[in-house]
Structure 1
Amino acid sequence: MDQVTSQDSLMNEVVISSKRHLSGDMKTEDLELPLMDFEAIATATHNFSSTNKLGQGGFGIVYKGRLLDGKEIAVKRLSKMSLQGTDEFKNEVRLIARLQHINLVRLLGCCVDKGEKMLIYEYLENLSLDSHLFDKSRRSNLNWQLRFDIANGIARGLLYLHQDSRFRIIHRDLKVSNILLDKNMIPKISDFGMARIFRRDETEANTRKVVGTYGYMSPEYAMNGIFSVKSDVFSFGVLLLEIISGKRSTGFYNSSGDLSLLGCVWRNWKERKGLDIIDPIIIDSLSSTFKTHEILRCIHIGLLCVQERAEDRPAMSSVMVMLGSETTTLPEPKQPAFCVGRGPLEAELSKLGDDEWTVNQITLSVIDAR
């Protein structure tokens, strides 16, 4: 098939005026998402100028643009060498065009032209959460109340995907760089290229192609390709602990062989030293013991979400109740999942006093599917 024919075929599949059959649904509907001209997008981004570059990932580059009517946009231009191909592109168009929630990024259109595949989103002034959380100067603006509000917003968006939208959606790549912040610092979940639709009677699915980001992947998914809403819950737990600590998750050990985020959180929790993992910036800004109690409760919730066995993790509906009520009693968390092979500090685990520990034998080459 030549390039022109291939592009025409792709356009026919994503054009909004066409009818299509929805997976898991017996109805056909219109996709109401405009196709945009390549020339208009090139003009809006000053011909994809490096000065308009917002970020870059395995998919390609994201540019800021301004349409002729003055509307600001973010353009995700898929690289021809991208790990996200045509299937992921179509998947995101089909899914996110149907999702409407304050905590989900809004897709405005797409472009399939001149060998290009691009997604056009609303522009969010404060970029991604990781650009604040892991930046030495910006992180000082993230006080505890703001971090707590961001965590709640992410939880609400995830609950919508799992339970309240017309389709049950498993995101499969929830991480700090996929959380965007608007001018009011309201979080919006983005990047649905890896997401999957579930029927209401489905609880889990299996895939031979494990996709996602090391450090956020649940053990059952990384090892066996089994994913469910509990896979997203695991990722949310990691993300919540990152928000609290201001540290990146890299699995159980980091590159130098030391205990990483999940290992440190678990060790300190078992030793009743939960305050030791809190970002010093928010500790310094706290003015009451009540807030300290609230943070420790959130650490507790995070640990419940990253438990090794999927069936032990709470559903997002329960997580929302836990986050919203100080009176709800929380169960004791079990061993977190340490998604990595044996490291040089394996002896540290024996000090934790948890007889239920099991090591997930996963190599970096298998699980780092970015």
Structure 2
Amino acid sequence: KVIAAEKKPEKNRVIFSCECINQKNEIVIEGQAEVIAPTKKIRRPKTVLPQIALRRSHSLFADYIVRAKKIGALRAAVIQPIHPKIIEAIDIAHAAGLIDPILIGQKERIHHAAHEAKIDINQYELIDVDHTHGAISKSILMAREDEAGIIIRGGATREELLRAMQKHEKGLLMENAMSYAAVLDVPTYAKALIITDTYINAEPILEVKRDITQNAIDFAQALGIEWPKVAILSGADTINYSMRSTVDAAALCKMAERGQIHGGILDGPLTFDNVISIEVAKSKGIVSPVIGDADILVMPNVETGAIVVKQLEYLAESRNAGLVLGARVPVLMSHINDVNLSTVSCALAILNVDYIKRKYHEGNV
């Protein structure tokens, strides 16, 4: 507390008695401050102060990279790496000990991209292919023959790669439908958040949503979440027969009760605000084990998922990695904006491959 103890008008001085008390009501600082009092009122222009936001001092992704390095690198089939940023991204991931790249595409264009990136690619295997379609076919064939443990989209278009991946006899299809899981480090959320599906299944039917959900649960367990909490999102919190996503959400929760989906704690339908904010959910009388603590958000369709991910990236400053789940090998599909996030995606792929191998092939999980 500060108290004006004495005035000295002849010298325009004011003596203030100052005292600081801690939470135990103990005096920790005390003393006097002599201040020169102004003889006339001082006015200064209002200063616009910068906005300050408190953020975590660490990345939630760092642990994934550490764990992946201990497991070991995957052979990566990189499709048409004909842009400098793609070359840079795979070189960083290789230096981190996460991938052994196989560059597949037009040799001259790949070397030109490497020259622009100022990176020596002579250490990497390079398969010269005339066009993108051939590079895609070769990468998928290598994955099918266990010569590659991961595919990186590189310079191919998403649509072209997806068409090839979804071919029944020559693609990457397995028992479950494929889906894409984005993993977000959102500064305003306490833990990593998995959002699915944001790339592949445009308007999934209930059977496909079951696969999307199960893929995400297995993936979350691969990241170390023993019982992931899964929020099935919709535009309403109650079942509305004119809104199919609410009916599907309720059905998915019942499927989990009956063992058709396993390993997670599901609830839905839920709206985005009720999932993220405990206060909002309580104000609406919604009680759920996933509100304010969800690990996975299952979106009603790709369009919604893609919009939510981009909103969080550009409005909430999230950092996003991710990969295709449910395929014969993980596939990195997203456009490379941040080369370091591509490294994170490679780490996620390693963790997922290791988990699936231990769970489904060795039975050790």
- TM-score higher than 0.5: no
The normalised TM-score by structure 2 is 0.25
Asked which structure has the greater RCO (Cα within 8 Å, sep 6+), the reply is 2
Name the TM-score, length of structure 1 as normaliser.
0.25
Higher relative strand content: 2
Structure exhibiting the larger radius of gyration computed from Cα positions: 2
